[in-house]
Amino acid sequence: MSFKIRQWLVLGLAAVSTAASAQAGVLLSLDEALALVFPAAEVRRQPVFLSEAQREEVRRLAGSPLPSGLVVRYEAFRNGELQGTAYTDTHRVRTLSATLLVVLHPAGSVMRVEVLSFDEPLEYLPRREWYGQLAGRRLDGELALKRGVRPVAGATLTAAATVDAVRRVLALHAVLGAGGR
């Protein structure tokens, strides 16, 4: 094999390797995600300022603190009826961040989880089916890896961070109550 061919092979392998561990970045905008999960609904954005006591209660219920006392909830209505409530959660996975949209049924259980952005390499992002196991979950002892939630080989930190985020959102929703204030 000639030197030139070897050079091209090495460069080609390096490019494939770099592409395989590429970082995802933004996968879905907030508006796209809200339209996806609440089709034909009116979505109302509600900024909420939490008191120190509310933040402490969220931390106690979730097992991890909220990064800020300002949160935004998105309530979706169709024909005047509440379809669900959504919150974003941005958190560190390994060394970089991810942002999730956690969508709750009107009764308070998880409807679905959408990944809005993921700055870690793509190989650390679980498959869509893994996120599906979070649907129907409530804030209880089973909402934990190796309990009611299957871990993911090769994406353990992402799975743990996702479960923590869902727990924070469920705790936040419980503390805010139906009125949101």
20-24, 77-81, 92-96, 161-165: the lowest-pLDDT one: 20-24
Residue 89 scores a pLDDT above 50: yes
DSSP 54-105: HHHHHHHHHSS--S-SEEEEEEEEETTEEEEEEEEEEEESSSSEEEEEEEE-
Closest of 143, 131, 133, 135 to residue 168, by C-alpha: 143
For position 117, what pLDDT does the model report?
97
Domain borders along the chain are 23-176
Give 129-142 pLDDT, tens digit per residue: 999 999 999 999 99
Q: What is the pLDDT of residue 86?
A: 98
Higher pLDDT, 70 or 180: 70
Whether residue 146 contacts residue 156, with contact meaning beta carbons closer than 8 Å, is answered with: no
Q: Report whether 54 contacts 177 (CB < 8 A).
A: no
Burial (0-12, 13-18, 19+ Cβ within 10 Å), 84: buried
Cα separation, 181 vs 178, in Å, equals 8
